[in-house]
Amino acid sequence: MLAELRIVDLGVIGEASLEPSPGFTAVTGETGAGKTMIVTGLALLAGAKAEPRLVRSGASRALVEGRWQIDPASAEAVADFGGEVEPDGVLVARQLSANRSRMTVGGAQIPAGAGQELVGEWVTVHGQSEQLRLGTPERQREVLDAHAGPELVAELEPYRERYEHRRRLAAELDELTGLAQARLRELDLLRFGLEEIATVDPQPGEDVALAAESRLLQSVDDVRLAVHTAGVALAGDEDFTDLPDALGLLAAARKALAGAVAADDSLNELATELEGAAAQLADAASRLAGYEAGLDADPLRLEWIAGRRAELQGLTRKYGQTIDDVLAYAAESAARVAVLDSADDRIAELAAELTELEADLAARSARITALRRAAAGELATAVQAELAALAMPRARLVFEVSDLPELGPHGGDQVSLLFSANPGSAPAPLAKVASGGELSRVRLGLEVVLASATGGQTFVFDEVYAGIGGAVALEIGRRLARLAEHSQVIVVTHLAQVAAFADRHYVVSKADDGQVTTSGVRLVTDDDRLAVLATMMGGLESSESALAHARELLQARGPAR
């Protein structure tokens, strides 16, 4: 329930606040005073699109704030957005300027779309556009489903889940079957590549190892000479014993130092280091000799390596820069082949699962249809009773539930609201045959019936009862009062007969300084309210006859709740 509404610089309203009744609140005012801005403000709080033109002329921004008293489930939803619910309710705010819009709920900023989903559960705004929307099959189905209640919801939710699952499976099946030729072409290419790689049978790092071995075999003579020269420098040459070598010179150094150690034992450390150096040089000389002995110029091996490298290069030209890349490609291709090979099995699985889903959806759709048809008769009967009270005793309303060509996300039903105002006319689509006044009364009858089963919501009506007056307007006032027994009702109206039934009455009035028009909102009670009602009926507020008529209206509504 909306406990408080505050508007700043929205349209012609400079600043205004009102505290709607928990029941029925009427908002009236002369044409152009800005009373529709009350509805616009509530629509903004419910996530409606913010337009810069709504900011009052001369102001930099507009602000709308609403404080709602909400149930625990809604409070939990607010907390999920990071908002806080105070003891006196949750504050919803919408601020808009020339280039941006900002919405907060309980102090937490949220996108307008999320706000529409959240606050839209608390308030329903009805204007001329909603009246037109009642003529659409989608809205007529929503109305019927709302009357069908929890039992239909319990069937619709799993139906929609399965319908969406079927949609995804059907899309996958279409993709697999529609791309069958492309899949076969891809399989042929992948298998050709895998066979080519398997024929060569490359080993990890083989291209790098063979390149190194080829370089060595091509330079074996140069390497042998270098190794031999290094060995001679370290250990000498048997054929040239008079040439100095590193090991011989090191032996002479050790021998010379050995005599000096006796005189100065501090040379022991150097003698030890020379001994170690001699051992390292001897080891290096031995390894060089072994390496030289193992060198072999093998032309046949070099020829084989050249051929093998050519085979490997044939793979790297197609499948990767190195053999390791080629092997990685082969692994990925094998995995892809497994997936593509399993497509036929997947197609069979999908077809079988879709067959089961189709049967399940058909059964669920049949139950949904039965619930809708049962609710259609009940709702039509209840609304016709309301229309009779609204001076349309011979009106006939029919919710026609017919079959769609195929199942949809809401079942297999086409819901059409048919209407006839006179007994001699066959019911026809509501949008085609109902006048504006008749459409208004049908919608009000629907709201009264639906609200009696749910309740707790805020309904906002904006000048939707065009072409209505007199006794019919009185009955509309009574029906709105009945609606207010279960829900909060806020009505912007120019009809005194409707406003008289309100528990609380606000008037939007404007002031004009010749340059800027500014409107304000005030609560009217007692004699002040009598004067307002008298003026709305076209009389003079000081006229005794007009005031007497206003009193009669207030008496007709009965005591205020």
Q: What is the mean pLDDT of the chain?
A: 85
Query: What is the distance between the alpha carbons of residues 146 and 380, in angstroms, rounded to a whole number?
Result: 13
Find the mean pLDDT for residues 84-107: 91
pLDDT of residue 407: 94
Per the CB < 8 A criterion, the answer to whether 490 and 461 are in contact is yes
143-154 residue pLDDT tens: 899 889 889 999
Find the mean pLDDT for residues 36-61: 87
Q: What is the CA radius of gyration of the chain?
A: 46
Q: Indicate the range of 41-45, 272-276, 296-300, 480-484 predicted with least confidence.
A: 296-300
pLDDT of residue 343: 79
Q: Indicate the range of 170-174, 215-219, 324-328 predicted with least confidence.
A: 215-219
97: part of which helix (H) or strand (E)? strand 90-97
Query: What is the distance between the alpha carbons of residues 234 and 222, in angstroms, rounded to a whole number?
Result: 19
pLDDT over threshold 60, residue 128: no
486-541 residue pLDDT tens: 889 999 988 888 999 999 999 988 776 555 566 778 999 998 998 899 888 875 55
Comparison of pLDDT for 79 and 58, the residue scoring more:
79
pLDDT of residue 138: 86
Find the mean pLDDT for residues 241-257: 78
Tokens of 341: 């090979």
Residues 145, 149, 151, 157: is their CA dihedral positive or negative? positive
pLDDT of residue 398: 92
Name every residue whose Cβ is closer than 8 Å to that of residue 4 and which is 6 or more positions away in sequence.
17, 18, 19, 65, 66, 67
pLDDT over threshold 70, residue 455: no
How large is the angle between the packed helices 268-294 and 246-261, nearest 10 degrees?
Answer: 160
DSSP 425: S
Query: What is the distance between the alpha carbons of residues 489 and 39, in angstroms, rounded to a whole number?
Result: 12
* DSSP string computed for 476-516: HHHHHHHHTTTSEEEEE-S-HHHHTT-SEEEEEEEEE-SS-
Q: Indicate the range of 1-10, 129-138, 283-292, 436-445 predicted with least confidence.
A: 129-138
Q: Indicate the range of 364-373, 452-461, 471-480 predicted with least confidence.
A: 452-461
Tokens of 272: 């030890």
Find the mean pLDDT for residues 303-314: 88
Q: Indicate the range of 36-50, 196-210, 268-282, 452-466 predicted with least confidence.
A: 452-466
Per the CB < 8 A criterion, the answer to whether 154 and 331 are in contact is no
pLDDT over threshold 70, residue 439: yes
Query: What is the distance between the alpha carbons of residues 39 and 30, in angstroms, rounded to a whole number?
Result: 15
Number of neighbouring beta carbons within 10 Å of residue 104: 17
Find the mean pLDDT for residues 94-117: 89
pLDDT over threshold 70, residue 446: yes
Name every residue whose Cβ is closer than 8 Å to that of residue 164 and which is 6 or more positions away in sequence.
409
Sheet with 13-18: strands ordered across? 108-109, 101-105, 90-97, 61-68, 2-10, 13-18, 517-524, 504-512, 24-29, 488-492, 458-462, 123-126
Share of the chain above pLDDT 90, in %: 35
Q: Indicate the range of 48-57, 322-331, 357-366 predicted with least confidence.
A: 48-57
pLDDT of residue 100: 86
Query: What is the distance between the alpha carbons of residues 309 and 315, in angstroms, rounded to a whole number?
Result: 10
Q: Indicate the range of 20-29, 221-230, 512-521 predicted with least confidence.
A: 512-521
Query: What is the distance between the alpha carbons of residues 27 and 504, in angstroms, rounded to a whole number?
Result: 9
pLDDT of residue 4: 94
pLDDT of residue 506: 94
189-207 residue pLDDT tens: 999 999 999 999 999 999 8
pLDDT of residue 181: 76
pLDDT of residue 524: 93
108-120 residue pLDDT tens: 999 888 888 888 8
pTM above 0.75, yes or no: no
pLDDT of residue 152: 93
pLDDT over threshold 90, residue 27: yes
